[in-house]
Amino acid sequence: MKLFGTDGVRGEAGSFLSAEVAMRVAMAAGIYLKGQAVTNRILVGKDTRRSGYMIENAIVCGLTAIGYDVIEVGPMPTPAIAFITENMRCDAGIMISASHNSFEDNGIKFFDGKGDKFPSEIEQEIENIYFNAEKIEEAQVTGKAIGKAKRIDDVIGRYIVQLKNSFPTNLTLQGTRIVLDTANGAAYKVGPTVLEELGAEVIVLHDKPDGFNINEGCGALHTKDLQNAVVKYRADLGIALDGDADRLVVVDEKGEMVDGDQLLGALGVHLHREGVLKGKGIVATVMSNQGLEDYMSENGLKLWRSNVGDKHVLEIMKKEGINFGGEQSGHVIMSDYAKTGDGLVSALQVLALLLSQKKKASELLRPFSLYPQKLVNINVKVKKPLPEIEGLKEKLVELDKLHIRHLVRYSGTENKLRVLLEAKEGKVMNSEMDKLIEFFQKALNA
């Protein structure tokens, strides 16, 4: 069994991600961290899923059993856990969330003492320890060496201050009307609070989590309610977060959704013109539209591309000395203010752009045209290695000849194959996509 996917350990709670697995993963991570422990404290937060109770207790059990002290902070956004881990001088942070997935799933994400996500190499080391029964048994302690756990409920204030510090002090949201959809998730308290404290009039949607309604017909994946509310209340902007608030989707004042790549382009060039963009470019993923790359080039900037996953975006940002990047899906990283994708930090930067330019979202947030692009998710029974799929290589060569950019990869968190095609001619691209879907359905679900 492979534990780690694109973003931590994720799967159906109670089956793949059972209490036993959660406890053992926590123990394996704790064993890895022991050699470099400074404070012997690990922070644990979660989103609003019912299964978070089970997994949280299992993690606390595993960590205290090997001698770690645990600080539990309850429902908090993923970026808040990254920030508070460093702010409270913990050796590591753990976030219990399956992000945008429905309530049946849950996940475990790890941050080091500086608030950075564990790289793939460390995840592999933890996985190796997980499967080493002897190491797990030897690490367990007795007597006074057993760790303790305590819950702290007031750390939300630290994160709110951090968010407000990311917003320009010469601007105010006074007179701005915003519709915010918190997806019944981790930001249902902090999101409205920070916007209201900065002066905005906030209409809040889906802020009553019951353990099962996280992401259900709402949030960043389901924006219909938000779009309708923006028009109904004549709002200046609509903001949708996902379940753990590490990504956002923006809706303009006309109720129309803004493409994630266009948002990255608008923010990137704005930061460049303000003189605060570092590294002469931005980082996006292989999924991002060619139109974004062209727009960066037109403005004298470079687009670096990473593998899918915000931790991979951040790796290149660090390597190239860049402070802005993200994914078209809504993960936006502004490393001057956050160590990972942060939907609220990003939303505040969008608002700062609109206020500083004194223009409407529909005018500013679509600064270039997109190439026709199509992404299809195909349910698969088995994730057969792509090089072993007979005939696939030839199919991809045909696409190259037609000048169709392609990306084929398995989801790191679900039994799905993701197929992305992009070309100047949408009709040709759609025709080729139909052929590819039929090909994969036969090859992987026969």
Place of tokens 């069994």: 1
How far is residue 130's CA from residue 386's CA, in Å, rounded to a whole number? 27
- Please give the torsion angle defined by the CA atoms of residues 48, 54, 60 and 62, in that order, rounded to the nearest 10 degrees: -140
Catalytic residue list contains 120: no
How far is residue 180's CA from residue 233's CA, in Å, rounded to a whole number? 12
Q: Length of the chain, please?
A: 446
Q: Which of 203, 392, 370, 373 is nearest to 293 (CA)?
A: 370
Q: Which of 50, 121, 61, 142 is nearest to 94 (CA)?
A: 61
Tokens standing for 151? 């819950």
Apex CA 444: angle with CA 442 and CA 445, to 5°? 70
How far is residue 237's CA from residue 217's CA, in Å, rounded to a whole number? 20
Are the C-beta atoms of residues 317 and 295 closer than 8 Å to each other? no
Q: Is the dihedral of CA 439, 442, 444, 445 positive or negative?
A: positive
Name, in order, each residue with C-beta under 8 angstroms of 157's C-beta and a sequence gap of 6 or more. Answer: none
What three-state secondary structure class fits 62?
helix
Name the active-site residue from 51, 99, 166, 346: 99
Residue 441: alpha-carbon gap to chain centroid: 29
Write out the catalytic residue numbers: 99
